[in-house]
Each structure stands twice: as C-alpha cells, then as structure tokens.
Amino acid sequence: MSHLPLLPILIPVIGGALSLFVEHRRIGTVVQRSVAWVFMLACLAATVGLVVQASSGEVLVYLLGDWPSRLGIVLMVDRLSALMLLTTNLLAAACLLHACSGWDRRALHFHALFQLQLVGLNGAFLTGDVFNLFVFFEVMLIASYGLLLSGGRGVRMTAGLHYVVFNVAASTLFLIGLGLLYGVLGTLNMAEIAVKVANLPAHDLALAKAVFGLLLVVFCAKAALTPLYLWLPETYTRAPAAVAALFVVMSKVGIYAVLRIWALMLGEAAGPLQDYGWSWILPLAVVTLALGALGVLAAARMRMLVAYLVLVSAATLFIAFGLRQPGTIGAGLYYLVHSTFVAAALFMIAELVRRGRGDASTDLREINAPPPVRRMASIMFLVAAVSIAGLPPLSGFIGKLALLAAVPAEHVGWAWSAILASSLMVIIGLARAGGRVFWRNTRDANDIRDRAGHSPGPKGLRSMRATETAATMLLLAYGIAMTLAAAPVIEYTEAAARQLLAPGDYVAQLRGTAPEMRNP
C-alpha cells in the first residue's frame, strides 16, 4: 500500500521541527522561508496526489504500525477528505506567501507554528478515529493560540485570551464526550461506531443521544453556530491578516466534523438515532445566517465585516448540509471551497486598507494611498465582493445557484427566503464598505478625521508589497479558476456527496476487513 495518506501529516511535522532548528541556529530569514516553502510545496504535491487517487472513488485506508483499525491509528481518504485537504493546503500556500512580506519576522516561531497548524488541519480531515480527531483538533488549536497571540498586545491579547478560554472549555466537553462515547459503545473508531449505533440496545439509547448531542454542541461551537458564535468576529478581526486568512478554514473543520458524524454514524442505518440533532441545527443555522448578515450591515471596520462574512458562509453551509440531499451537499461543498478562498482574500485586502489609512482608527474611511495603489486595491475588493455576495458570473453565484436549484420543493419557501435575503444584505454591506473606503473624497475623509480627533498620520501606503499583492491575487485566481472549471468541480463535489451518503464502502475499508489495504 502507498504511504501517500500519511504524507500530509508527516511532511509538516518534519517541516515544523526543521523550522525550529534553523530558527534556533539564528540562520537568516531567507533560509527559514526557503525551508517553509520546500515543505509547503511538498505537502501540496502530496495532497494533489491524494485528490487524483480519491477521484476514482476508491477509499484509501492507512493503518499506522499495521495495527488493526479497531486498535490502532487509522487514516482515511475519500473524495470529501481529499477536497478538504486540497482546499486547506492551497489556502495555506497563499497565507504563507502573504506572511513572507515581513510579518513572519515579527511573530515568534511563526514558521514552526504554521507547519504545526497544517499538521492539525490535515490530520483532522484524514483521521478515521474520533479520539484522534480530538488530538488533531488540539494540535490545530495550540498552534492557532501561538499564531494569534504572538507579537500581540492590547485588544489582540484580550480577544486572543477569550478565544483560548472558549476553546479550552469546548475541548474539555469534547474529551468528556469521548469518554462517555467509549463507555457506551466500547470503541472510538468511526466505522465501528457506525456499526454499533445501528445495533444499540434500548437501555443505552438515552445516554447515546446525550453523548452525540454533546459532540454536536462542541463541533457547532467550533463552527460558530448560534449561540456559540460570539468568539469568532472579534478574534478574526484582531488576528494578523495571514493568520486570519488561515483561520477561515478552521471554522470549516467543525462543519466537516458535523457532516462526517451525521452521514457516517447518524445516517439511515442509525435506527432511532437517524438524523439526530438536525431538527435544531437547521433553525439555528437560519438564525446564524440572519445575525451574520446583520453584522455585515452594521460592521464599522472592514475586518469585522469580513469576519461576519465568514459567519454567513458557515450558516449557509449548515443549511446546505442540513437539507441532507446529494444536490444540496454537493453545491454546499463547492460553496465551502469558494467562500474559504474569497473570505481569506478579503482579510488580506482589509490589511492593505488598514495600512493605507496611515492611522489606527477603527472606522471605514477612504484608503490613503496613491491612485495606482487605490485602483489595484479597489479592483481586488470588487472581484472579491462580487464573488462572496453571489453575484454573476463568479463562483459565488454558481455555488448559490446550484444550492437553490437543489433545494427540495417542501423547503423552497424558507430556504430561498433566508439565502436570498441574506445575500441582499451582504450586497448592501459590501457596497457601503466599498463606497466609504475607495470612493470617499480625500478632503471629506480628512475633515472627518479632524472632527474625530485623529491626526492625518503619515502619507500612507506608497506601494503595495509584491508578496501581499501576489497572495491576494492568488486567492482570487482560485475563485476565478473555480468559475471557469465549474462543471468538473461541481461534478466532483456531487460525487463526494453521493459517496458520503452511501458509507458502506467507507465502513468496510475503515474496519480493516480488506487485506489489500493494510500496510506493507
């Protein structure tokens, strides 16, 4: 068997260790960045190889140490996990490029923490065991604590500490849930759980519902579903641009975990536990969508606006997946990839606007930069805004159109109303922000600063840093590529949805019943 499924975890582990070594030896920044890029590109190449193999419909299983899957650590790759891996590593490449503009020199152990973050993200999408999902969650979160707090002070430290406390509490509940789950079912292997849930004795049913309810609460908290979303806007607003852009995919990890558990463990074969939890997740998703759209309208800072756009995308995904149809799940997966790239690009554009203003005020005003820089920034913002708002002809429009077209007839009324109304509010919020940032007259902006007690500050941004511009344009290019290749991408996501909803092959392979899937 190929060792390819292990590489997206092993490569960044080695990369993080080597990054610490060259940093400790006080080797120059160029060498540190070169090491980071070698391992980033190697990880991306391994991910592309996994996508190619998963495209055939084969479920790849890797048994570490050749232990049986019910006893050892098992990694699994199907179409869904391969898609999430590719999305994560493409995003990470752009974030690393943006950080190499200079922020990596100001953050302690940035490259080591960045590689560690990739270990957690990639491992969460690859694991076939709920306990190891917890382990990779913690690896991902520990790295995110360092990336968020490194070099921070004042309000960033406050937001970062709130983020740490919230996630430590959620992780504690996760660990408690795992203990209860093992006590009820005697296993934490996902495939074994799926089999045992279907044959659960009646006297264990109430406890099993409590356990799965607790796990869903934990995952929904990490995905920022109402009422557990309050940590997200301020945290993402205060994070450095490259870190906030990488954090966009972290909320998708919680959504992925909910989707995987529902389809595998609480699907049609789950008996009394079939579809458990969705009866309240869907209404909460609609409420989250409304609150996120209102947040976009009310945002006084561009980064806060983008943070609420992340919340809107998460709520839209919960609706798409909660409808539990192959068409809506396939469209939702397309929308997931699109929204990840575009929201990350908007965080980078917001950083450009912040530096271009030449001061530290928090409201939306005109960007204080020469006309060529303003034109470039405004064009990038326009492309990103059109895409994330769902306007034609870009990928956001294709994703939302595919989702609306796949909504079952009995849900058309509320689903269309919620998605279209939120889209209208997002369009208004983005138009307002774009007008105030890029079209406001310079004299008017300076008058407003004077009345508010702000000094005009330095002359502003003289030029855009090449790596920042390249990183932002790379993310926007991903979205444009998804538009041009919409047919094959949607075909892949719909195939991933069908595979997810028919987990028989997944369960058979993950339980280790196929000798050819074992390690040599």
* Residue 518 within any structural domain of the chain: no
DSSP assignment, residue 458? Answer: S
Give pLDDT, residue 189: 85
Q: Which of 166, 132, 131, 174 is nearest to 148 (CA)?
A: 166
Sorted by sequence, the CB contacts under 8 Å of residue 1 that are 6+ apart come out as: 62, 516, 517, 518, 519, 520
Q: Which residue has the higher pLDDT, 67 or 328?
A: 328
Q: Which residues contact 317 (CB under 8 A, 6 or more apart)?
A: 252, 255, 332, 335, 336, 339
Highest mean pLDDT, choosing among 59-68, 139-148, 461-470: 139-148
Other residues' Cβ atoms within 10 Å of the Cβ of residue 323: 20
Q: According to the model, what pLDDT value does residue 387 have? A: 94
CA distance 464 to 156: 25
**481 alpha carbon, distance to own chain's centre:** 19
Q: Does residue 520 sit within a domain?
A: no
* Average pLDDT of the segment spanning 493-501: 92
pLDDT for 56 equals: 87
Residues 6+ apart with CB under 8 A from 193: 130, 181, 185, 187, 264, 265
Task: Express each pLDDT in 200-215 by its tens digit.
Answer: 888 888 888 889 989 9
| Structural domain includes residue 79 | yes
127 phi, psi to nearest 5 deg = -70, 145
Question: What pTM did the predictor assign?
Answer: 0.90
For residue 302, is it within any domain? yes
In-domain check, residue 49: yes
pLDDT of residue 497: 93
Q: Do 251 and 223 touch, CB atoms closer than 8 A?
A: yes
Domain membership of residue 159 (yes or no) is yes
Domain coverage including residue 256: 4-513
SS3 (DSSP) at 513: coil
Q: Are 351 and 393 in contact (CB under 8 A)?
A: no
Task: Locate 161 and state its tokens.
Answer: 């500490």
Tally the residues of the chain.
520
Question: Is residue 519 one of the residues assigned to a domain?
Answer: no
d(CA 222, CA 247): 11
C-alpha span between 169 and 150 (Å, rounded): 22
Residue 241: pLDDT above 80? yes
Convert 466-484 to b/e letters by CB count within 10 Å (16 or more is b): eebbbbbbbbbebbeebbe
Put residue 465 in one of left, alpha, beta given phi > 0 → left and psi -120 to 50 → alpha.
beta
Write the DSSP symbol of residue 266: S
Tell me how many domains the chain contains. 1
Strand partners, 129: 189
pLDDT at 303 over 70: yes
Q: Report the 3 state secondary structure along 276-343.
A: CCHHHHHHHHHHHHHHHHHHHHHCCCHHHHHHHHHHHHHHHHHHHHHCCCHHHHHHHHHHHHHHHHHH
Higher pLDDT, 373 or 95: 95
pLDDT of res. 437: 81
- pLDDT in the model for residue 449: 46
Q: Specify the pLDDT at position 513.
A: 46
pLDDT for residue 169: 92
pLDDT score of 461 more than 60: no
How confident is the model over 43-58, as a mean pLDDT?
Answer: 92
Is residue 251 one of the residues assigned to a domain? yes
